[in-house]
Structure 1
Amino acid sequence: MSRTSQRADRFEALRAEAAALRAAGKSRMQIKETLGIRSNGTLDELLKGTVPPESLLRPRAKDDLRQRARELRAQGWTYREIGAELGVSKSSISLWVRDLPREGRLSYEEFRKRNDEGRRRYWDQERRTREAARGAISDAAADEIGLLTDREILMLGAIAYWCEGAKNKPHHRYDRLTFVNSDAGLIKLFLRFLDVAGVDRGDLIFRLMIHESADVVAAQEYWREITGASAELFKEPSLKRHNPKTVRRNVGDGYRGCLRIDVRRSMWLYRKIEGWVRGVVHEIEAPVSAPS
């Protein structure tokens, strides 16, 4: 007997065994293990023409889930929503429903609109949260200051003037106090400093510096209320000509320009400020001695 005939006989014997195992209700995996077969193609040849027993013809276990997933997708549910509802992975859902159009699918414009609205709601809340945190820190820091002594007022005023006020230049001696600022708090500090230093309020000259396109009358009244000065001490406002090509951000009701304060007969105070500032700097630069 030739080798070809032997192989044919062997194959027919395996076919008979495979058919018998199939008729006994064995699964394909069980048949492969019993006959020592590794290839699914070989098993297909062995089982060709055989009919699986009724016990192996049950529906697939996930058929009900698949049908429900398709129903939900037709209603416009997303993969994530369907997965959460059925407890099935998104990859399985994709295989089951990818041929279905999603009803009510958002247009690109509607998606961008909803996305922008979501970001706006988030940042509205986030800004309020951050503002509350900043306010709490600022309030706690303000409480740490307490009452200021005249000595502290002199130091604070001198430093504030040295930062914001007019000073002598090597090529030009000024020797007179001129302070310009847009912050009402710093203006009040400077006025308090002048009071402590012994300057008479009658020696002050106030001048509003503002863009001509602003509400000059309202700004003038605002600074009169801040300073408590009479109208006679306020000179004509200094108006900056409006340039329509310039994009200004200091506009609106909150824009009140800057206030300039000139102090007449103030050479003596200017020289004192020079000394106070030098004294503060000298103290800062002095070496710190170790505690005994």
Structure 2
Amino acid sequence: MTDIRSRNSRDSKYADFEDLREQAITLRREGLSRRQIRDRLLVDNNDILNRLLDGEPAPDWTRRPNAKDDLRAKARELRLQGMTYDRIQVELGCSKSSISLWVRDLPKPPRRTREEASAIAKRGWEATLQRREEERRQTKQAAKDEIGTLSERELMIVGAALYWAEGTKDKPHARRESVAFVNSDPSMIQVFLAWLDLLGVDRELLRFHVSIHESADVLAAEEYWAGLVGSDTSSFGRTTLKKHNAKTVRKNVGADYHGCLIVQVQRSADLYRRIEGWWYGIVDASVLVSGRSLPG
């Protein structure tokens, strides 16, 4: 019996549509949601509910926050200024498909010239390059943070591997049991010197030499390396000058080119033998970790 009375009540409300619409609008303006109005007026037909609320905006509290609202408004503003989808994309960094949805009801701007199209494409490419560079920077910084601090043992292993990759080595046909390290990368030099300090090598035993192309600024290079190692150019050995070949197109030019620094350790035969031993100890330990045997 209760269900019959409720159904009759709803039918009577649908018959008097204008009265029902007035009630729905009043409830809407009081801040009720669609569901609340539907339950209050017992309207279970969505089409009729839509007609009852036609033209009445939803209350603010029912609207879901949208992170793209600001972008949408800015896109419409730029479109009204005559910008194309490409230019809006460059300005806002969002997809063309989103821009199309946001501004498709607005008038199209006049057709752009070839020069304008070229300028837009250039700005777009520059924005892409900037984004890629920022991605590179973030990746490198994250990797750097993963290292954290080094223990003395870790630095000892790093230094031994670094020397075996970049330092001079003894050969059966040319005995060179002395420590000499050559590199153009200042960070490599810094790590090598820190490693020598860890090993207790006296700085008085170090000799520095610069090797650089004769066409470069030799004095500036000597001062640069002297500042890096905390020494004075007067304590440096004679600089080795490489002859310039005009036919060779070199990339290592300009103010950032400082040549190479040679770091020699005096009376270092015993240190060299220890370095060689450390290196082959690293090799053997690496084989055990990997589970692979060396060829031969």
Q: What TM-score results when the alignment is normalised by the length of structure 1?
A: 0.59
- 1:202 partnered with 2:207: no
Deviation at 1:176, TM superposition (A): 0.6
Contact 2:180/2:262 (8 A) holds in 1? yes
Summarize the alignment of residues 175-186 of structure 1 with structure 2, pairs less than 5 Å apart: 175-186=177-188
Deviation at 1:274, TM superposition (A): 0.7
1:271 to 270, 273, 283: 273
CA 1:117–1:225 in structure 2 vs 1: closer, same or farther (change >3 Å)?
same
Q: Which residue of 2 aligns with 1:145?
A: 147
Q: Which residue of 2 aligns with 1:173?
A: 175
Q: Which residue of 2 aligns with 1:76?
A: none
CA 1:288–1:235 in structure 2 vs 1: closer, same or farther (change >3 Å)?
closer
Contact 2:225/2:261 (8 A) holds in 1? yes
Give 3-state SS (helix, strand or coil) of 2:130's partner: helix
How big is the alpha-carbon RMSD for the aligned residues of Structure 1 and Structure 2? 2.4
Deviation at 1:152, TM superposition (A): 1.2
Contact 2:223/2:233 (8 A) holds in 1? no
Deviation at 1:255, TM superposition (A): 0.8
CA 1:124–1:282 in structure 2 vs 1: closer, same or farther (change >3 Å)?
same
**Larger gyration radius, structure 1 or structure 2:** 1
Take 1:183 and 1:142, find their aligned partners in 2: how far apart are those partners?
18
Q: Which residue of 1 aligns with 2:232?
A: 230
Q: Which residue of 1 aligns with 2:242?
A: 240
Take 1:267 and 1:208, find their aligned partners in 2: how far apart are those partners?
23
Take 1:240 and 1:146, find their aligned partners in 2: how far apart are those partners?
39
Q: Which residue of 2 aligns with 1:216?
A: 218
Take 2:240 and 2:117, find their aligned partners in 1: how far apart are those partners?
48
Summarize the alignment of residues 20-169 of structure 1 with structure 2, pairs less than 5 Å apart: 111=114, 113-114=115-116, 116-169=118-171
2:282 to 276, 280, 283: 280
Q: Which residue of 2 aligns with 1:100?
A: none
Give 3-state SS (helix, strand or coil) of 1:286's partner: helix
Q: What TM-score results when the alignment is normalised by the length of structure 2?
A: 0.58
Deviation at 1:288, TM superposition (A): 6.6
2:191 to 163, 186, 189: 189
Partner amino acid for 2:275?
A: I
Deviation at 1:228, TM superposition (A): 0.7
Contact 1:204/1:233 (8 A) holds in 2? no
Give the paired residue count.
Answer: 186
CA 1:251–1:287 in structure 2 vs 1: closer, same or farther (change >3 Å)?
closer
Q: Which residue of 2 aligns with 1:252?
A: 254
- The percentage of aligned residue pairs carrying the same residue is 45
Give 3-state SS (helix, strand or coil) of 1:221's partner: helix
CA 1:104–1:133 in structure 2 vs 1: closer, same or farther (change >3 Å)?
closer
1:184-230 Cα offsets, whole Å, 9 max, x none, are 11000000111111211111111111111111111111111111123
CA 1:245–1:276 in structure 2 vs 1: closer, same or farther (change >3 Å)?
same
CA 1:285–1:233 in structure 2 vs 1: closer, same or farther (change >3 Å)?
same
1:153-187 Cα offsets, whole Å, 9 max, x none, are 11111100100111112311100111110111100
1:29-80 Cα offsets, whole Å, 9 max, x none, are xxxxxxxxxxxxxxxxxxxxxxxxxxxxxxxxxxxxxxxxxxxxxxxxxxxx
Deviation at 1:105, TM superposition (A): 9.3
Take 2:290 and 2:240, find their aligned partners in 1: how far apart are those partners?
48
Take 1:151 and 1:157, find their aligned partners in 2: how far apart are those partners?
10
Take 1:246 and 1:229, find their aligned partners in 2: how far apart are those partners?
33
Listed as ranges, the gaps of 5+ residues in structure 1 are: 1-83, 88-102
